[in-house]
Structure 1
Amino acid sequence: MATVECRDLCKSYGSQEVIRNFNLSVADHEFVVFLGPSGCGKSTILRMIAGLEEISAGKLMIGGTCVNDRDPGDRGIAMVFQNYALYPHMTVRENITFALERAGVKKPDIDTRLSPVVDSLGLDVHLNRKPTELSGGQQQRVAIARAMIKTPDVFLFDEPLSNLDAKLRGHLRVEIAKLHRSLRSTSIYVTHDQLEAMTLADRIVLMNKGQIEQMGTPEEIYSRPATLFAAGFIGTPNMNFFELEASEGRLRDGALDLPAPAAVPSGKVTLGVRPGAVHLVPEGTPDAIPAMVERDEFHGESRLISLRSGAHLFTSAVPATTQIHEGESVWARFDASALHFFDTERGHRL
């Protein structure tokens, strides 16, 4: 397998610059996930690595060699697309082996390579069927098998599960993780689904407006988001935010008056609190704030309670057994050990 290095990569369409000075090193055998909203540039970078988009500036290194001017077929990569891109007139076997046949690989060698690939993906019983006879999940397995059989240095995945239903996405997510471990491949995976990123990645590259917003393990980005954008994008349900004034050891606005940690400077700050750190407590609990229940959502193992205190609307995640009613007056307290503070104007973590 191989390393991947992006050195000051840039991409422009005419005068519009969509990627600027992108730098990233992917280690051998690492599974890196590009995560971000639509239009943030993650698929564009993947296509530049694949050779499907021209690099406007910078260097792309695969296995220590600059590949800027190499054709996609000469980069040692295999790519799995969102839309499967299967040939409808070919059987499953023909779709998987087509690239090897075109490359002149002999049939006995193709058969030797085909068997373990289809066995690992459960496709051995479907080899003589056409893609139209398969489910969406089976078609995506064929696309993955077609990439695997090429034994590439680097696997690229461009939102491969986004066309599937939730149950099937979960199943294939597990299969992709198992394949990565068994093949010890170097993999780069693009998604806008944070659950896929959190469960698959060795390291997440969180993208925003063509640049890296934050990079780290799933635990690092979730537990210590570096910016307001990262804090708001990572985590389900979303983090609560409160714009407050820090002064004399307190955090205040018209409705809230909370203790401020010593490390928080005076001035405007944004307090971030995940719903799981918002606890419903008895009246009179120190530093608790009064609130009214606006909505109670049953989520199976938990309830998501929408609360209003003054102008602030925020949520609390509580056990499903909690007895609560819309319109009820309650008291909420933030877990002091699980608070996040950000510079309101610049958006950076304090």
Structure 2
Amino acid sequence: MSKKVISAADEAKINFAFDNATELLKNQKARGERIELNILRGDTPTFMEYPLAAKPEDLKGVDAAIVGIPFEGLTIQTPSIMAPPTCGRPEPGSVYWRMGADVGLDNIRKYSIYYSVKHNRGYFPEIDKEMVMEDYIQVRDYGDVPYTPDDIEGNLERAEKRVAEVVAAGAMPIIFGGDHTVPTPTLRAILKPREKKAGLIVFDSHMDLSCEPKNWASTEWNQVLELGKISPDNFVVIGIRGVRNSIFEKNVAKELGHRVITIDEMKDRGIKDVMDEAIRIATDGTDGIYMSLDIDVMDPSQVVSQKAPEFWGMTMDEMFHAVRRISREKVIGLDINEYTPDYDVNGMGAQFCARIAAEFLGGLALRKRDGLK
């Protein structure tokens, strides 16, 4: 550090000038100093207007970081044909073949403005009547992973590297997809350095237990389980329904023996009872829970912006009860995926995704306030 060469009187004068100007402005009718917007790019703000982390060093001391993985691999064109990501996109309003999960991240960030920390520093009275989130946690938006449709492997490698930087900083990754391939690179980054087992709770209408073709939104659990850090005994999937679960997946699920809770079982038992069981399974002998949310677990009447809508899904009441329960546990990561803006109405799907993430930040703040790790 260079030595100051001005006099102590000059230094005091400089300090007083700025401090006094700030104090005087409180009673003067004039604009304050301009504040730089927290902008990710263009007119897209950072998530909840948290500060942007432009490089790994910016993650120092951070508790959670938002990462966008705008990945979309193979998509289902017809019940028997899949289209590669380089294929031309379907026309707006396409009934069965839907794309667009790779272009929804800006929308989620824009609608996160409803939960901006500029409102009140993260005070959600329904989460806790006294707690202000910014008193306990630091959050950064770590931007989006570069995406090239014709480079599937490269996209996933870049995603794993970006998430690994968050993990190395000691922060919890909150991932916005992209399609349901995003848990693959995310959990590789989270689980590789861990020495203990993790629990996995998935909300989805599909089992996603295919193994071919690789790297699409139905083979992620095959690849994640191969990492050897999650036991089928600690794996729960909630909300399964519809005819798009294959016979192959049925056979895999039977052999794995992991807990598969169909939508009818959840409705019959009630979400409170189901979540008691899910938490018990996911925390049994593990060191943290990872949650994956495919928004097609929701009933389309509640969240319309889905790639694979299926009626008789979860309601808002059910989902937010589940989120409140999981977010109070030790969470090691979260992904929210399959949001498709072409099918959204008034941005409500984007706002739903943003609110889910905000709930997990609230749970993280509560745990820090209460001294829980």
- Return the TM-score normalized by structure 1: 0.27
- Return the TM-score normalized by structure 2: 0.26
Name the structure with the higher strand share.
1
Structure number with the bigger relative contact order (C-alpha 8 A, sep ≥ 6) is 2
Name the structure with the higher helix share.
2
Larger radius of gyration, structure 1 or 2?
1
